[in-house]
Amino acid sequence: MTAITIRLVGENDDRLFKGIEVDNKIPYVDLKKRIETFTKIHPDFQELRFRGDELPDVERPLQDIKFGEELVVKHTSLLQWKNYLTIVQKFREAKENRSRQKRVVEANEQAKQLYDVKFFSAYATFYSDWLRMREEYAVFLDNVPDFIK
């Protein structure tokens, strides 16, 4: 067993999970499940890096890991979150209600996809940001027939 650090990146400040005991012979699939217990990122949505490179999808990826080394983890939907923020910014800059409403529908669809893959479970500060932004544009959703139902 070796104690490693899992570094969750994506927010302003990385989150560190230190002293995580792993067997250096742990299978790739089991490693991803173990990482999920700390980061709340489902294995299908984990992007893993080790020593600056993508962690290889091999049977035993940590064979030569040393005490205290880091695995860097991020959610594969992080870029989608950045797209969401761009859409919200365009909403804020739009002058016409029709344009603003279009952006709101786009933003809401992006947020729904993020919610569905449990993105906000891993990034709680982003969830708080999303709630604040949604409150800002919710009135525009009230006038979209699909959201009234």
The band of 148, judged by pLDDT with boundaries at 50, 70 and 90, is very low
Kind and range of the H or E element at 97? Answer: helix 97-116
Expressed in angstroms, the distance from the first to the final Cα of the chain is 54
> Which residues does residue 3 pair with via DSSP β-bridges, in sequence order?
21
DSSP strand E in 34-104: where? 46-50, 53-54, 70-75
Kind and range of the H or E element at 139? Answer: helix 124-141
Q: At residue 82, does pLDDT exceed 50?
A: yes
Contacts of 134 (CB under 8 A, 6+ apart): 108, 111
Distance CA 72, CA 95 (A): 41
Q: Which CATH class is domain 2-75?
A: alpha beta
Model pLDDT for residues 111-142, shown as the tens digit of each residue: 999 999 999 999 999 999 999 998 888 887 77
* 24, 63 contact by CB (below 8 A): yes
CA 102 from centre of chain: 25
Q: At residue 147, does pLDDT exceed 90?
A: no
What is the mean pLDDT of the segment spanning 50-75?
Answer: 90
Model pLDDT for residues 32-48, shown as the tens digit of each residue: 999 999 999 999 999 99
pLDDT value at position 13? 94
pLDDT value at position 143? 65
- How crowded is residue 114: how many other Cβ atoms within 10 Å of its Cβ? 22
**Coil vs helix vs strand at 36:** helix
pLDDT value at position 29? 93
Q: At residue 84, does pLDDT exceed 50?
A: yes
Q: What pTM, to 2 d.p., does this model score? A: 0.86
Residue 9 DSSP symbol: -
